[in-house]
Chains A and B, each alone.
Chain A
Amino acid sequence: MLHSHSFQDKAFESFASFLRNILSGDDRYKQLVEPILSDAISLSKGEKNYYSVGRDSFDVVVFLAEKDPTFLGSINLVGVSNEQYKKLLELVSGQREEIIA
């Protein structure tokens, strides 16, 4: 096979692509990122557990929650800044290298 991606990889790629679209000025993607971010914040704070977070983006949610809980705790969902979107993009972009390493 020339190339192959698991659907878990694709979940990360989708999330990264949403973030890149937001950073290019397309605000429609904010509504797609928000529920994932909200679940990740709740999981990192212990308000939700592995069973109660949304199922559709489970891998991304868990990754974000475990990767940098301090940064996640600093995010206010009402007004996520471009700097914060950039930082999120850096985190998920590094995800593949971590899993492969």
Chain B
Amino acid sequence: MSTNNELLLLHLAQAEQSLERAKNNAYSDARLEDYHHKLVSLFHAVKKDIQQQTKSLSDSEIYDGPKKILDFIFKSLEFLDSSTLNQIPYEIVACLKEAMDKSIEVTDRYIIVTSLINNVLGFSYDSSIAFEHGLYTEIQTKYGIEFMDRLVQINLPRAFSRDYLSAVVLYHELGHFVDYRFSLINSLTKTVLDDLFHRRMKSTDENELVIYFPYLANYIANPTRTLITATTTSWYNVILSHFREYFCDLFAAQYIGEASSHYLKYVSQNSANWIPTHPSCINREKVVGAFLKGTPNVVVTLINQPLLSIKKTTLQKRYSDVAADDFLDLIPTEISSGEQLHGLFDMAWKLWLQQKKKMGDILNTSDTLKIYNVINNLVEKSIGNYITVNKWNQAYKTLHPQKPTPTT
């Protein structure tokens, strides 16, 4: 038997052990229980397959078959293990879920799981197993097991797991998830580069584009252009990355206004320079500012193209303003819609930036830590109350389908 066959058996034993360890996991969401059960069924199906083999498997049979499935089981377990009851900051997840549900197809079903990591800048999404469309289809075709929901992991710094000011960064990260799901910016980049090559773009737009993609100046000025592709020049990936970042900034601004720009400016030290993965902070702020003010901007116009063609929507403000009055009375505010839920972040940021002193006077303190904690607590309670009331209303509607809910 080849070494790889032996390693496959090792992989199988490791997976069985990991499933055994995870068998007592208690989840906050019944769908995670269901996912876990399916994972166990899948493991047994693969194990049976391997045990029924009468001959040694070739390397490609191992890679294309059981190894791929066992890798999937391990990655899923990694996500499930970090999403047990005592680890989930569920108020943040609820806000992101609300935004996510509005940004994806109704047929897409994702469960957000979280992982707390020891990196203060470590906000990110791991959608590596959510987008393995081929693998899910293959599992269904081969084993008859259908995963109704897919796991998406949000990583957030352990230090900020209850920090609702820095949590706005997660809206930007959600933008990456939505982009990847629909290949929005991939499609846009290819279309824009095709249009530039075939000179289909208006010269005024080309000139404005140079502001946001300064390295395109020579290309645009050149009378003979060649098509920029991923395989011909590394500039392609720079343009793609920059479009992605502009998109995510705009995606986030739909829900949290300028809040993310404040944080970004500070973290990136308001850099005027672009790097291969990110446009300059100044340009990013300019694009978000134009969108929020409703002034024409070539990047906003271009990003609306794939949104309109693929998602039948455009960038728009998706939060409503929430008054700070309740917070200044030191009580949570009553939230009655998803738009207001997102509006809480904008309000909390405005409070921190503009009314910290007033809040300090009310609290009879100049200690910023106390003010910071009070704002975070009030945001958390406001979100928590909204979740509780919503759940209660849903339960009431189930019990009394004919009656209006008392809170409406």
Which residues of A does B touch, CB under 8 Å? Answer: 6-7, 10-11, 13-15, 17-18, 20-21, 24, 28-29, 31-32, 49-52, 55-59, 62, 66, 98-99, 101
Contacts and interface: CB of A to CB of B under 8 A. Distances in A.
B273 interface: no
B406 interface: no
Interface string B55-80: 00000110110001000000000000
Which secondary structure dominates where chain B touches chain A? helix
Q: For the side of the interface on B, what is the size category?
A: 20 to 34
A20 B229 CA distance: 29
B138 interface: yes
A50 B190 contact: yes
The 6 closest A-B pairs by CB, nearest first: A14-B134, A51-B309, A58-B183, A17-B64, A50-B187, A56-B133
B191 interface: yes
Which secondary structure dominates where chain A touches chain B? helix
Given A20-B60, A66-B229, 11 more contacts: A7-B127, A7-B131, A7-B180, A14-B133, A14-B135, A17-B64, A21-B64, A50-B191, A51-B306, A55-B183, A57-B133
Interface string B136-168: 011001100000000000000000000000000
A51 B133 contact: no
Contact of A55 (B68, B127, B138, B310): B310
A21 B58 CA distance: 13
B181 interface: yes
Contact of A7 (B132, B142, B309): B132
18 contacts: A7-B131, A11-B132, A14-B132, A14-B134, A14-B135, A17-B64, A17-B134, A17-B138, A18-B138, A20-B64, A21-B64, A28-B141, A29-B138, A50-B187, A50-B191, A58-B183, A62-B186, A98-B231
Contacts of A101: 231
A49 B64 contact: no
B230 interface: yes
Interface in B291-324: 305-306, 309-310
Given A7-B128, A32-B138, A49 B68 contact: no
B182 interface: yes
A18 B134 contact: yes
A99 B231 contact: yes
Given A20-B60, A32-B137, A58 B131 contact: no
Contacts of B231: 98-99, 101
B129 to A, nearest CB: 8
Contacts of A58: 183, 186-187
